[in-house]
Amino acid sequence: MAQQESEQPVNGEFIVDTEDCEARELAYRERGTSRPITVVGNPVLHRECKDVTEFDDKLAQLIDDMFASQRTAEGVGLAANQIGVDLKVFVYDCPDDEGVRHTGVICNPVLDELPADRRVLDDSNEGCLSVPTAYAALARPDYAVVRGQDAKGDPIAIEGTGYFARCLQHETDHLYGRLYIDRLSKRERKDALQQMAEGTPRYEIVPND
């Protein structure tokens, strides 16, 4: 399914990513092929990704594969480097705190700097498909705005609150080489890696040789 016309920003408005979520997500993943997930320690996860410059059929296929991979891993967001691709693009299929489902894709995302009055921190637990079976509390703003381009190269902006805001920040971090455990204290990071070592991923991963 092509990107909806309603996903284009008009006069600075945010995209509408809450309509026909089930049908759009299904269309993406039915065209895609699920790929294994890269995990912490893989070099592609620890460096800034390359900008997307070609908005072509190859990018469209990558996005389809990312939606398929996200569903297989039962995630709510997935960055391209989590399936080993060095490009700034992430997909999401994530509810906010009101239970409203948001589904979409963004290339070359950049987070807005929030004014002080919008920086209300939420210290809920956070997890990551690239750090399987591990969770840790991490304070992040409960509101986020990310700007970038859609799959055709047109400018878009996405607004998120609550859990969805966390998702937008988490996935943008990935594309700049940062995992959520990199924001933890040394002790908390060690604990998360221990959880990972003791757990068994529920999806296929790429082992680090």
The verdict on whether 7 is a catalytic residue reads no
Q: What is the pLDDT of residue 7?
A: 39
Q: What average pLDDT does this structure show over 136-156?
A: 97
Residue 77 has pLDDT above 90, yes or no: yes
Residue 149 has pLDDT above 60, yes or no: yes
Over pLDDT 70: what percentage of the chain?
94
Is 209 part of any domain? Answer: no
Whole-number average pLDDT of the chain: 93
Domain range holding 97? 5-198
Q: What distance in Å separates the CA atoms of residue 129 and residue 205, rounded to the nearest whole number? A: 9
pLDDT value, residue 119: 87
Structural domain contains residue 203: no
Residue 123 belongs to some domain of the structure: yes
The confidence band for 116, taking pLDDT boundaries of 50, 70 and 90, is confident
Beta bridge partners of 103: 93
In a domain, 161, yes or no: yes
The arithmetic mean of pLDDT across residues 155-181, rounded, is: 97
- 204, pLDDT greater than 70: yes
Helices of type H across 73-206: 162-175, 186-198
The residue annotated as part of the active site, out of 7, 25, 159, 171, is: 171
Between 106 and 207, residue with greater pLDDT? 106
Q: How confident is the model at residue 9 (pLDDT cuts 50, 70, 90)?
A: very low
> Does residue 97 sit within a domain?
yes
H-helix or E-strand containing 121? Answer: strand 121-122
CA distance 75 to 85: 18
Q: How many domains does the chain have?
A: 1
Is pLDDT at 175 greater than 70 in this prediction?
Answer: yes
Annotated binding site for Fe cation: 128, 170, 174
Q: How many CB atoms lie within 10 A of CB 170?
A: 25
Residue 208 lies in a domain: no
* Residue 205 located in a structural domain: no
CATH number at residue 81: 3.90.45.10
Q: Per-residue pLDDT tens for 19-42?
A: 999 999 999 999 999 999 999 999
pTM: predicted TM-score of the whole model, two decimal places: 0.92
Enumerate the β-bridge partners of residue 126. 136
Residue 12 binned pLDDT confidence (cut-offs 50, 70, 90) = low
Pairing between β-strand 121-122 and β-strand 140-141 as defined by DSSP bridges: antiparallel
Q: Does the residue 52 lie in any domain?
A: yes
